[in-house]
Amino acid sequence: MPANDFWNIAFGAYSLSVNRRDRTYSLTETVSGTVWANALPLGYVELLERESGAVTRYPFGDLQTVSLSEKAGANGKRILFGLDAPGKIPVDVYLTCTEREIQLTVEASRDTRTHRVERVLLLPGLCHVPDEPASYLVIPHGEGAILTAKDAPNEPMPLAVWDAETGLTMPFVGAVRGSSTLALLTDSAYAVADLTRSETGVTLDLRYERDPERRRLDARIVLLPGGDYVAVARAYRDKVIGDGGHVSQRKKRRDRAGSFSVMVAVPPLADTANRWRVIEDFEETMREPNESPRVAALSGDWASPFLDGWQYPDAPPRFATPVPLLAVVYRDATPFRFGEAIPASARFLRAALYLAEPVVDETDSLGAFLVSHRFLHPDFDVEEARYSNGTVVTVNASATDTYDAPGLRLSPREFSVTAREPGRERV
């Protein structure tokens, strides 16, 4: 194929090649040399033929080219494909490349007398990991989960964005292949991430149902060399802050003085009839002045502090490893797996620190965000979280085994919180 059929773009940590004829692309993360895409289609559009009722899928490469343009500047490059789908439905595809991210925007909402747009698929096959130990998908279901190819379900599973019960609690997915990480962010509330297992690995593909509220569909690619699941969640957090929909930690520290730590919780309840009485007593206790750090564990049958809980027996975490993605984006504290005889999908140590208003007005703030999280033991029972102010939280969720490491010994069900400030330590 002639060389002038391609746009070759290199920014930051990626190299992108776009075929202007068939609308396929190749993407390489240049720090590690990981190839994320090799001649993959930019997307598909599915059209309903009104007379017959048949739905047909068309790759962008099969659509008629009406216009083609590019604009380059100091901050990046923008490519526009003006396309016509069958029935004279216009499909405009914008590809914007900057140093930090690649954004794919599609406008395809104008129906005609003979055809109607049913759904659009963007960047299929990109968020894929092979069946290798160091590779996994990042899924923001509930608090979050990571999923390897060998643990993926055999049947396809649709995960709708903003569907906390069976889908995604936040509008992003991610993939980690060894030392290379990819975050795939989206905006539309009508997006669905289709989880599919194949002979080569497991994939999350973004599918957009007909969206009456938005003409534009957006998907953003962020490559994160050396990152992990925390880096994927932080990429989404950075986007939210950039869009003005989030209070940055710097502003929070300026507007409200922070203290060392508070992790509040409600104890397990055998008699649910007394549940609200225990909550009221707990709230009163939390309102009492207390200068020392307070740390407590929350029973895993509660979904969030002071609210009735629910389980997700059919959700991805039943076969995936829980990780604190929600804490990276919205909370000051990390939830950990915790609790005896509680399903793995709900075994978390819940914290009551939120970026927004606290549950109780007098609740202190940690004044820091989660910057790293890792498992210290192969069975995932021991977890460590580090915060931007130097605080380190370690928990041993095992009911039987003691965790013994240089400088730290944790009995079963024990956890520690260590502050950077001298004399402010609680175990």
Q: For residue range 136-193, what is the model confidence (pLDDT) as tens digits?
A: 999 998 778 899 999 898 999 999 998 877 889 889 999 999 999 999 999 877 899 9
pLDDT tier at 348 (50, 70, 90 boundaries)? very low
**Is 80 exceeded by the pLDDT of residue 217?**
yes
pLDDT given at position 311: 32
What CA–CA distances, in Å, run from 85 to 20, 88, 161, 327?
17, 6, 27, 43
**Is 50 exceeded by the pLDDT of residue 388?**
yes
H or E element: which one contains 287? helix 275-287
What is the dihedral sign for C-alpha 182, 179, 146, 264? negative
pLDDT given at position 108: 85
pLDDT given at position 178: 93
Distant-in-sequence contacts of 420-426, Cβ < 8 A, 24+ apart = 420/389, 420/390, 420/391, 421/260, 424/260, 424/293, 426/261, 426/292, 426/293, 426/295
* pLDDT tens by residue, 1-60: 555 789 999 988 999 999 999 999 999 999 999 999 999 999 999 999 999 999 999 999
pLDDT given at position 158: 93
H or E element: which one contains 403? strand 403-405
Q: Are strands 262-263 and 294-295 parallel, antiparallel or unpaired?
A: parallel
Cα(408)–Cα(228) distance, integer angstroms: 25
* Residue recorded with tokens 């969030």: 304
Cα(151)–Cα(238) distance, integer angstroms: 30
**Is 90 exceeded by the pLDDT of residue 422?**
no
pLDDT given at position 23: 96
Do 175 and 129 touch, CB atoms closer than 8 A?
yes
List the chain domain ranges.
3-242, 249-426
- What is the average pLDDT across 388-416? 79
Do 366 and 261 touch, CB atoms closer than 8 A?
yes
Maximum mean pLDDT: which of 293-297, 328-332, 355-359: 328-332
- What is the average pLDDT across 202-221? 85
- One-letter amino acid at 30 equals T
Higher pLDDT, 169 or 198: 198
**222 burial level (CB within 10 Å; 0-12, 13-18, 19+):** buried
User: Going by CATH, does the domain composed of 3-242 fall within 2.70.98.30?
Assistant: yes
Cα(317)–Cα(322) distance, integer angstroms: 6
Higher pLDDT, 397 or 293: 397
pLDDT given at position 198: 94
* pLDDT tens by residue, 359-369: 333 333 445 56
Maximum mean pLDDT: which of 71-75, 209-213, 292-296, 366-370: 71-75
Cα(361)–Cα(93) distance, integer angstroms: 47
Higher pLDDT, 393 or 287: 393
